[in-house]
Amino acid sequence: MGTQLIEARDVGFWYSGAGADDPPVLSEFSFVVEQGEFFCLLGPSGCGKTTALRLAAGFEQPDHGMFALDGREITGPGSERGVVFQADDSLFNWLTAIDNVAFGLKLRGMSKADRRAKARDLMNIVGLAGQEHKYPSQLSGGMRQRIQIARVLATNSRVLLMDEPFGALDAQTRSELQDEVARIWQETGKTILFITHDITEAILLGDRIGVMRHGPYANVREIIKVDLPRPRKRSSPSFGELYERVNQLIVEEVKLSRRAADAGV
């Protein structure tokens, strides 16, 4: 690490249709993700985490400031950025698991034999060997999320943008996929921007955690380096100490948000 890859620079953003007196969702929002880093963006509900990811993906454009990749302004979606969503409804229900994974390769003109071989290798990597012939409706939620991850890996994107991808899963499946993503990240060296509201998840996965302020006018309050050895153990004293530090920041932001709401701000 050490080479800046993604940068948000003094970003301001209003939702479409906002009135002249409406506050921005994000204001003076800035952070940097280094190449090969696993960066977690963490914050209370409604603080604009998903909005930040959509801006990084190019699905939305800032009203002020800029998001950049390799120093070049992001002006729209691009193949160098792959997105894994929280919901699994981005899968094509009429395609088998392996054809979902291979879909992007088909669009690139890769032969059927080559793309299916590549997709099969990726399904092995995400723990879905033997499930190639099944349709999304025949798979569990955790398996469908694994297909999403494999499909993004198939495009060989430089950056993985993950929007609370395990938020709808049960605790056991969530824990398994957290371990899986950490392993894949270590094996591939991908740069990951990971959105979460779960403190434990952020500490388990992140090299650094950007803790966001409550919205509106949200930005990054503090960036915390996670200086813990991998694989990380939830039961370790150092894990618990870091959890309490981050949790205190989140508690303070929730209190400030409630005060602002009570004051009508």
Q: What is the pLDDT of residues 176-208, one digit of tens each?
A: 889 989 988 998 899 999 999 999 999 999 999
Q: Give the pLDDT score at 95.
A: 93
Confidence tier at 31 by pLDDT (50, 70, 90): very high
SS3 assignment, position 164: coil
Confidence tier at 265 by pLDDT (50, 70, 90): low
Q: What is the pLDDT of residues 139-163, one digit of tens each?
A: 998 899 899 999 988 888 899 999 9
Q: What is the DSSP-derived secondary structure letter of residue 98?
A: H
Q: What is the average pLDDT score of the chain? A: 90
Assign a CATH topology to domain 4-80+159-262: Rossmann fold (3.40.50)
**Per DSSP, which regions of 123-228 are E strands?**
159-163, 191-196, 208-212, 220-225
First and final C-alpha spacing in the chain: 40
- Percent of the chain at pLDDT > 90 equals 62
Q: Give the pLDDT score at 263.
A: 67
Closest C-alpha to 52, from 34, 80, 83, 29: 29
Q: What's the predicted TM-score (pTM) here?
A: 0.92
